[in-house]
Amino acid sequence: MSGVSLLLVEDDLELAGLLDRVLTDEGYQVSHAPDGQRGLHLALTRGFEVMVVDRGLPAVEGLDLIGRLRGRGVATPMLVLSARGTTQDRVDGLDAGAEDYLSKPFELTELLARLRALLRRHPDRTESLVIPGGQLDLSTRTVRRASGDQVELSEREARLLALLAARPGAVFSRGELLDRVFDAAESETVVDTYVHYCRRKLGRGVITTVRGLGYRLGAL
């Protein structure tokens, strides 16, 4: 597993230190977030190939963190760690968007095996989505056009396109986009501004305006 980038979101610093050492020895490139807010920031601004998320996090609870990332188009495979081990707890974790759920205490060998299994199910290890006229790479926030040239996007432009591309037939209202991509405290005009930015860089057809309803991904 040499070189696989992994985000560990764990508030127990002793456990996090142990996991960091073990995972690094296994060849992972580990980044650590001590709370859900920091985990959210790192996952949205950097590309990771796999994530390990504790459920009982401060600031942003683990399942809430996963739900927010899935809502913003982050497709990174995720494994939940939790002291809660009932069937319903596991169901809740999977329903939130995690691919696997491991109850504490656990054996390190089992954690490593589950991570290997996650990566086998995602062999390309890329976060990419099809958009009109090209491919959006979330890890680098670039769009590769059919012609071969690349267009760089800002974090917000990439997040907006990722959400639309994850559900290409869905229409999102400005309010939904504001809540899921931007800051809910901002005006809805910020949505229109970033739609304009995306169209300026990638062409008007990349995002379609649905009059009276909102926006959706342009025709593929």
Which of 61, 96, 121 corresponds to the end of one domain?
121
The pLDDT of residue 53: 96
149 and 190 share one domain: yes
Token pair in block for residue 25:
């020895």
43 and 66 share one domain: yes
DSSP state letters, 128-139: EEEETTEEEETT
The pLDDT of residue 138: 79
153 and 112 share one domain: no
The pLDDT of residue 122: 67
Q: What is the CATH number of the domain that holds 139?
A: 1.10.10.10
The pLDDT of residue 3: 59
The pLDDT of residue 75: 80
The pLDDT of residue 125: 47
The pLDDT of residue 146: 76
The pLDDT of residue 1: 45
The pLDDT of residue 90: 83
11 and 89 share one domain: yes
The pLDDT of residue 150: 93
Q: What is the CATH number of the domain that holds 46?
A: 3.40.50.2300
Which of 70, 102, 121 corresponds to the end of one domain?
121
111 and 67 share one domain: yes
Tally of domains in the chain: 2
The pLDDT of residue 126: 47
What domain range is 200 assigned to?
A: 128-217
Which parts of the chain register pLDDT below 50? 1-2, 125-126
The pLDDT of residue 220: 75
> Is pTM beyond 0.75 here?
no
Which of 121, 138, 160 corresponds to the end of one domain?
121
189 and 101 share one domain: no
